[in-house]
Amino acid sequence: VTVVRTAKTDCAPACLEWIAADGRIDADTPALFKKVLKDLGPRKLPVFVNSNGGAVNSGIEIGRMIRAHGLDVFVTGSDIIACEPADKVCKRGPAKAVPKPHLARCASSCAFLLAAGTRRYVGPSSMVGVHQIASYQTRYKVLRQYRIQTKMVDGKRVEIDRELVSEKRVDEEMVRAKTPDSTYARIKSFFTEMG
């Protein structure tokens, strides 16, 4: 998630800038958006998204930020162009980029970003995908070692103290879980809020 400027050189002083948001939406993505939006201040740049989605909660959080700032959303990728080593102006300002709408995608939780746009744009060769929410639980197998103190009571060994000495994960398994109805209610509320 970063602010970029068109790589065209014949547009000065009004070269197009946008927020390029490419890749997976995960737990860290809202903080990236928050920083970019804070740095922009009152400026309103369009958001170009190209993502297969990711975390539902993060998508909803970013969507609310986009709506609160009144930003437009385009399903368009951004090819960022590396600065030439000697180009000090390029290194100071926003990175140069080329919009890539052909075969850009906005799937899964990216749909929350698209829905949040004040205006939403999807080109004829771009793709939007929505699906049922998939929920997973991670199950861990843990090896624990204890120091146990016992004493004899009526001829039987009885535990009187237990102290955990070490704990180590030895296996983990992702298991599909039923998505709670509350998740669907929150999603419905979000889409209603976004119009």
SS3 labels along the chain? CEEEEECCCCCCCCCCEEEEEECCECCCHHHHHHHHHHHHCCCCCCEEEEECCECHHHHHHHHHHHHHCCCCEEECEEEEECCCCCCHHHHHCCEEEEEECCCCEEECCHHHHHHHCCCEEECCCCEEECCCCCEEEEEEEEEEEEEEEEEEECCEEEEEEEEEEEEEEEEEEEEEECCCHHHHHHHHHHHHHCC
Tell me the pLDDT band of 89, cut-offs 50, 70 and 90.
low
- Say what percent of the chain tops pLDDT 70: 97
Range 167-189 average pLDDT: 91
Render pLDDT for 118-169 as a digit per residue (tens, 0 to 9): 999 999 999 999 988 878 888 999 999 999 999 999 999 999 999 999 999 9
Range 39-62 average pLDDT: 96
pLDDT of residue 161: 94
Tell me the pLDDT band of 35, cut-offs 50, 70 and 90.
very high
pLDDT of residue 15: 84
pLDDT of residue 119: 97
pLDDT of residue 52: 96
C-alpha to C-alpha distance for 77 and 126, rounded to whole angstroms? 10
Residue 119 — φ and ψ, nearest 5°? -125, 145
pLDDT value at 84 more than 90: no
pLDDT of residue 91: 67
- Say what percent of the chain tops pLDDT 90: 77
C-alpha to C-alpha distance for 75 and 111, rounded to whole angstroms? 10
**Across the chain, what does the average pLDDT equal?**
92
